[in-house]
Every structure is written in C-alpha cells, then in structure tokens.
C-alpha cells in the first residue's frame, strides 16, 4: 500500500519531469510517473538516479531515497499522491484535459502544481473544478540543481503549503503577487537577452565576448546580490536613495538607448555561428555536464555564506 | 629610483582607484597615487592593504607586494609609470584636462587607461595628442575582486598590451569592437534592471522577491554560462539553432511585453522601501562586506572548473 503523505505524482517525464523526480526521490518521496510516450522504465530510472546523486540533501533530511515507478494513466499516477507536479506540453488544451482527468482521480486535498514556463495561472485555472488547490510552480532548469521555484497561487493556504513544501526540498520558493507571462526570472532573462542580441547585431562585440562579460561581471555579481540590491551598494553610504537621486536620470537615458533587435535570419545566423565558436567543438551534452558541475560547485560555495546573505 | 616597468599611476583615489591600487600592489607593482582631495596617506594605505589581502594571487605570480604612495600632482604620478589608470569624475572636461597634464609628463610609451563607465573612447580621445596609447578599461566594481575588465582601444598594439596586462593580473579582459555608452556589462545590467523595476511597478512581486528570483535563478546560471550559451543549452540536442527556430518567435512576443517604466517619485519610493525591507537593518558597509565575502567564495569555487568551462 502506498503512503499518500510521501507520494508525489510527476505527469510528463521529459527532462523537467525527470529532474523533478530526481529531487523528490532524493528527499525520500516515492514518485509515480506518467508520460503519454514514456522511455523504458530502466532508462528513466537510470537518468533519474544519476541526477538524484547530484541533489544536495542536508544530513538532517531523511536518508532513505524514494522509488520511481511508471504507471499507464494519469489517474493511476495521482490516486495516492498528496502533490502533483505537471510537466505536460505548453498548450492550454493539453494541460486542461489532463487536469480534468487528474481532478476526477485525486484526493480533494492534493495540490496540483504546473511547471509551466510560458502560460499563466489565469489561463489554466478555468480548466479545473476546484481551482483553489491549483498553483503554478515554475522551476529553473534543471530543477534538481537550481534553487529557484516561482510560485503563483490564488489561494492563501495553497500558497503556504507550496512554500513550505519547496523549502523542505531545499529550494528557494519566490512568490508572485500577480501572475504574468514569464513569471519573474524568464522576464528578466528575456530583457537581458534582448540587449545581448542587440550588442551582437550592432557589431559592438561577438557572442563569446558578450557571454564572457556577463559571466565575469554582472552574472557573477547577481549570483550573490540581486539587481535592486546591487544598485543599493552602487550608491555608496547613501544607498539606493542616493543612487536614484543622482544616477536615476542617467539610467533612464541609458534605457532609451537600449536596442530592440529582431531575430531576422541574418541575426539568427550570426548568433548560431557565434555560439558555435564559443562552444569550441563541445556538444550540448558536454556543455550541459560542465554547467551542472560548475553550478554544483557554486552552490556549495554559497552554502558557506547562507546564514548571513540570503535575500529572504 | 623608481623602476618604470613596475610602476603604475592611479589618478583619482576614491573607491575605484583604491581597489585598483589593491590589485596592482597585490601583483607586485608599485603604485603612485594622485587625488585632488586625497584622504590621509595612512587611511588610504590601510584601506588598500585590507583589499589587497582579498586579491587571489596565484603562487606563480611574484610574492613581494608593491608599495602605495601619494604625490601632489598628476605629473609626478605618471612620470615614472608604464601604465596610468585614470578614475577621475565622469565629466569630459575634467578628464580631458587631466590627460593634457598626463601627456606632458608621461613617457611616450605609457598606456593611459580610463576606468570610465559612462563615457566612450570617442568622447575622450580627442582630448589627447597621441591617442593611440589611450584606451578605456572599465572594471566591474570592485575591481580587485571582480574579474571583468571591458576594453576598447582603437590601436591594435594598445589593445594587445592591455589584454596581456589585465590577463597577467588575473582579470578577464573582454574586448569591444566598437565603443558604446555602457560598454557591454552595464548595458546588460541596465536592460535587466529596467524589467526588474517594471515588475515592482506592476505589482507582480516586491523588491526582495525579484532579487531572490535573480540570485537563485538566472544570476546563478549566468555566473556559469552566458546568456547566448544558456539558450544554446535550452534548445536541447539541436542547440541554439533549434531554439531560435522553435522559440525565437515566442521570445520576440515576450520582448514586446517587457515594460518601459519611468523612475517616478512614487516608483523610487517603492524601490527604496523595498530595498530597506530586503536589507533587514544591515548597513551598506555590512552588505558590501557580505557581498565581497560571497564573491570570493564563488570565485574560489569557479577556479576548480576553470580549465574546462571558461568561455574564452
């Protein structure tokens, strides 16, 4: 018999679903997965186990790892789960159809969380009968490594449950007051990338130079302090108040000079060529493995500062 | 007698100048400083020594630290220097006047590098007689910790000299092909901050939530891979070519939804209140010390991945 309290359903077992399963099982939850076109169970289990070994579980968390198994229907996946993490394709009708089946089979207290990156709560919630327990919980890829989970919940109880659930999983849940396309992180990333594309399009620097400037400058800084806080520290002893008073107008002027590039075939070609040069022959899989290795090192360095510098 | 080969002049000994002096002396250069209104020498030396202890000098670099001393005129500071790092106020006439005095006193081979963040080579170079040895070399604050130095030089030899000089100082020089206001890093930071302000202005999330989303999401990722490379990895096995083909249009749509906030008194007030809440009573000096401590930890974690993942 399955213990509902410790069972999570993962709907959609692609890259994101597998990474979630790695996180959940690392923290001792049993995971029941469903996918309309699943890979063979042994392949999935192997990939999940490899990612699970990368999850940083504190010693105080339970030691026994959870199990991962596959079932044939979403109904069977959710029947005994207290949490459902949905990672279906980013299409409203596909997700809404899935929610209908989930609601018919899940316990009334089960939270249904969507990993959606490009849709909003308001677009998806009308598809549910009891939408108070429906939330969006958008991870930053890969979720078993990256701490950020962006949460929007219309219901106060569901929000509290979600924050506590993800905190206990060693994540850093961030709560939105209003649901918007792209949540917070992808909007910030999109805004930055627009200018990164513009700099290449305007021949100011090539792709590798733009990426190096980010990694060795603002990216490094933003891994430690946020953008608002960075301007607070940029304002000297008077902080952000001083900054806004003296340099606010020059920021507004700079904003007006930022580019609005289009992804024309010519620009796309230059981006592709530039990234290929930067990759220096390394495959996407090799680059991903390097990224994850370095992220894990960065997170381990971060833990030493945790008590003092966490922004919340 | 002063050895020109190992003497650097630092013009303007405010926060940036002191941090440069810490870096230069850590690597064994003697630094001659000049400031129109200097702090007492003992105070400056104390601050420089404290920062110098934070500089990560590899064992292969020389062990003997350089000295820092102050002189009364820019002419005296540059007379025996092979490199001049100028950190005067961000006003064209002030800098140009200084260059005139520097040129009259410096050796003809001495590089004159401006730390300017908001002015360009093209605005400043007409102030020099021999502008081929003039470059902009913009550090990311604080320069004794942050690796990034953004370089623009019209002359190929000056550019090569600068890249090699900063590499030997353990920095990551990034070369611009064209000089623009804000170089690369501040343009990227400005673009991101505009949306960060917009998210607060539109009541999507508060200041602390925006900063937390950045630090635990894209900031952490960008400390390891740049923005272009991140989309390459986001494209799966097909990389950025696949990404641009399938998700390029949705990026363009998202760009069109990004905000264009103004720094009105009301928005400024909310930013100030939000940052104060995030600071939780910590002074700017305390927050800065925490930032630097965490940056140093992040850099030390990064060194373990250096050989494989450096973007250049």
- Which 3 state secondary structure label does DSSP give B42? helix
* pLDDT tens profile A93-148: 999 999 999 999 999 999 999 999 999 999 999 989 999 999 999 999 999 999 99
Contacts of B254 (CB under 8 A, 6+ apart): A181, A182, A186, A187, A190
* pLDDT tens profile A57-100: 987 776 689 999 999 999 999 999 999 999 999 999 999 999 99
What pLDDT, on the 0 to 100 scale, is given for residue B305? 73
Instruction: Please tell me which of the candidates B176, B230, B274 has its beta carbon nearest to residue A205.
Output: B176
* C-alpha span between A145 and B124 (Å, rounded): 46
Find the range with the poorest average confidence among A203-207, A268-272, B300-304.
B300-304
* pLDDT tens profile A284-296: 999 999 999 999 9
DSSP for A171-234, please give it: -EEEE-SS--TTTTHHHHHHHHHHHHHHHHHTTSS-HHHHHHHHHHTHHHHHTTS-HHHHHHHH
* Residue A312 pLDDT grade (very low, low, confident, very high; cuts 50, 70, 90): very low
- Which 3 state secondary structure label does DSSP give A166? helix
CA-nearest residue to B192 within chain A is A192
* pLDDT tens profile B29-55: 999 999 999 999 999 999 999 999 999
Residue A306 has pLDDT above 90, yes or no: no
Give the mean model confidence (pLDDT) for residues B99-106.
96
- Give the largest CA-CA distance in chain A: 66
User: Sign of the C-alpha dihedral, residues A10, A11, A12, A13?
Assistant: positive
* Residue B113 pLDDT grade (very low, low, confident, very high; cuts 50, 70, 90): very high
* C-alpha span between A221 and B282 (Å, rounded): 19
* C-alpha span between B173 and A209 (Å, rounded): 9
Q: Are B34 and B72 in contact (CB under 8 A)?
A: yes
Q: Which long-range contacts (CB under 8 A, 24 or more apart) does A59-65 make?
A: A61/A27, A61/A28, A61/A168, A61/A170, A62/A27, A62/A28, A63/A28, A64/A28, A65/A25, A65/A26, A65/A28
* Residues in chain A closer than 8 A to B216 (CB atoms): 140, 146-148, 172, 174
Give the mean model confidence (pLDDT) for residues B186-190.
97
* Residue B311 pLDDT grade (very low, low, confident, very high; cuts 50, 70, 90): very low
CATH number of A4-175: 3.40.50.720
Mutual angle of helices B227-234 and A207-216, in 10-degree steps? 110
Contact A193 B231 (CB under 8 A): yes
Min distance A118 CA to chain B CA atoms (Å): 9
CA angle in degrees (0–180, nearest 5) for B214-B220-B222: 95
CATH number of A185-281: 1.10.1040.10
* Residues in chain B closer than 8 A to A243 (CB atoms): none
* Residue B156 pLDDT grade (very low, low, confident, very high; cuts 50, 70, 90): very high
Q: What is the 3-state secondary structure (H, E, C) of A235-283?
A: CHHHHHHHHHHHHHHHHHHHHHHCCCCCCCHHHHHHHHHHHHHHHCCCC
* Residue B237 pLDDT grade (very low, low, confident, very high; cuts 50, 70, 90): confident
Judge residue B264's burial from the number of C-beta atoms within 10 Å of its C-beta, 0-12 exposed, 13-18 middle, 19 or more buried. exposed
* pLDDT tens profile A4-56: 779 999 999 999 999 999 999 999 999 999 999 999 999 999 999 999 999 98
Give the mean model confidence (pLDDT) for residues B101-117.
96
Distances (CA, A) of A119 to A138, A182, B196: 10, 8, 20
Which residues of chain B does CATH 3.40.50.720 include? 4-175
Contact B216 A140 (CB under 8 A): yes
What pLDDT, on the 0 to 100 scale, is given for residue B292? 95
Residue A71 forms contact with B (CB below 8 Å)? no
Give pTM, 2 decimals. Answer: 0.95
Instruction: Please tell me which of the candidates A180, A221, A254 has its beta carbon nearest to residue B204.
Output: A180
* Residues in chain B closer than 8 A to A148 (CB atoms): 212-213, 216-217, 220
Q: Which residue in this structure is represented by tokens 């961030």?
A: A174
Give the mean model confidence (pLDDT) for residues A183-192.
98
Instruction: Please tell me which of the candidates B192, B210, B216 has its beta carbon nearest to residue A147.
Output: B216
Contacts of B193 (CB under 8 A, 6+ apart): A227, A228, A231, A251
Instruction: Please tell me which of the candidates B146, B217, B222 has its beta carbon nearest to residue A214.
Output: B222
Which residues of chain A does CATH 1.10.1040.10 include? 185-281
Residue B214 forms contact with A (CB below 8 Å)? yes
Cis amide linkage into residue B142, ω under 30° from 0? yes
* C-alpha span between B132 and B160 (Å, rounded): 12
The interface pTM score, or ipTM, of the predicted complex is 0.96
User: Sign of the C-alpha dihedral, residues B195, B196, B197, B203?
Assistant: positive
Contact A291 B196 (CB under 8 A): no
Contact A226 B234 (CB under 8 A): no
Q: Give me B203's structure tokens.
A: 């009541």
Q: Are A264 and B248 in contact (CB under 8 A)?
A: no
Backbone angle region of A112, left / alpha / beta, with phi > 0 → left and psi within -120 to 50 → alpha: beta
Which of B 181-200 lie inside 8 A of A, CB atoms?
Answer: 181-196, 199-200
Contact B251 A263 (CB under 8 A): yes
Contact A278 B203 (CB under 8 A): no
What pLDDT, on the 0 to 100 scale, is given for residue B306? 64
CA-nearest residue to A212 within chain B is B311
* Residue A218 pLDDT grade (very low, low, confident, very high; cuts 50, 70, 90): very high
- Which 3 state secondary structure label does DSSP give A42? helix
Say which DSSP state B305 is in: T
Residue B205 forms contact with A (CB below 8 Å)? yes
CA angle in degrees (0–180, nearest 5) for B163-B138-B82: 55
* Residue B62 pLDDT grade (very low, low, confident, very high; cuts 50, 70, 90): low
Q: Are A51 and A22 in contact (CB under 8 A)?
A: yes
Give the mean model confidence (pLDDT) for residues B286-308.
87
Q: Are B56 and B300 in contact (CB under 8 A)?
A: yes
Min distance B115 CA to chain A CA atoms (Å): 15
* Residues in chain A closer than 8 A to B206 (CB atoms): 177
What pLDDT, on the 0 to 100 scale, is given for residue B4? 72
What pLDDT, on the 0 to 100 scale, is given for residue B234? 87
Backbone angle region of A209, left / alpha / beta, with phi > 0 → left and psi within -120 to 50 → alpha: alpha
Residue A223 forms contact with B (CB below 8 Å)? yes
Contact B268 A257 (CB under 8 A): no
Residue A164 forms contact with B (CB below 8 Å)? no
* C-alpha span between A84 and A33 (Å, rounded): 10
Residue A273 has pLDDT above 90, yes or no: yes
Looking at chain A, the whole-number percentage of residues with pLDDT higher than 70 is: 96
Average pLDDT, chain A: 94
Average pLDDT, chain B: 94
What pLDDT, on the 0 to 100 scale, is given for residue A208? 98
What pLDDT, on the 0 to 100 scale, is given for residue A46? 97
Min distance B35 CA to chain A CA atoms (Å): 19
CA-nearest residue to B244 within chain A is A268
Which of A 94-113 lie inside 8 A of B, CB atoms?
Answer: none
Residue B125 has pLDDT above 90, yes or no: yes
């Amino acid at each position: 018999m399955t213990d509902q309290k410790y069972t999570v359903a993962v709907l959609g077992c692609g890259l994101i679903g597998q990474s979630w399963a790695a996180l959940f099982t690392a923290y001792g939850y049993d995971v029941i997965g469903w996918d309309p076109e699943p890979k063979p169970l042994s392949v999935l289990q192997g990939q999940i186990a490899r990612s699970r070994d990368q999850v940083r579980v504190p010693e105080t968390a339970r030691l026994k790892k959870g199990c991962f198994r596959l079932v044939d229907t979403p109904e069977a996946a959710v029947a005994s789960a207290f949490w459902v993490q949905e990672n279906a394709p980013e299409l409203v009708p596909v997700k809404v159809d899935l929610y209908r089946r989930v609601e018919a089979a899940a316990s009334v207290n089960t939270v249904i969380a969507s990993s959606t990156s490009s849709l909003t709560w308001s677009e998806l919630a009308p598809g549910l009968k009891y939408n108070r327990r429906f939330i969006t919980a958008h991870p930053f890829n890969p979720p078993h490594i990256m701490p950020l989970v962006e949460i929007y919940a219309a219901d106060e109880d569901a929000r509290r449950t979600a924050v506590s659930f993800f905190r206990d999983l060693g994540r850093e849940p961030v709560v939105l007051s209003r649901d918007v396309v792209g949540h917070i992180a992808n909007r910030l990333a999109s805004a930055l990338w627009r200018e990164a594309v513009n700099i290449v399009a305007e021949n100011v620097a090539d792709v590798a130079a733009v990426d190096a400037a980010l990694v060795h400058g603002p990216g490094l800084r933003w891994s430690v302090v946020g953008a608002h806080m960075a301007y607070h520290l940029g304002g000297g002893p008077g902080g952000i108040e001083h900054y806004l008073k003296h340099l606010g107008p020059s920021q507004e002027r700079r904003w007006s000079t930022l580019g609005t590039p289009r992804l024309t075939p010519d620009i796309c070609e230059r981006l592709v060529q530039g990234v290929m040069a930067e990759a220096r022959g390394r495959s996407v899989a090799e680059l991903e493995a390097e990224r994850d290795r370095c992220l894990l090192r960065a997170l381990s360095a971060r833990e030493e500062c945790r008590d003092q510098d966490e922004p919340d």
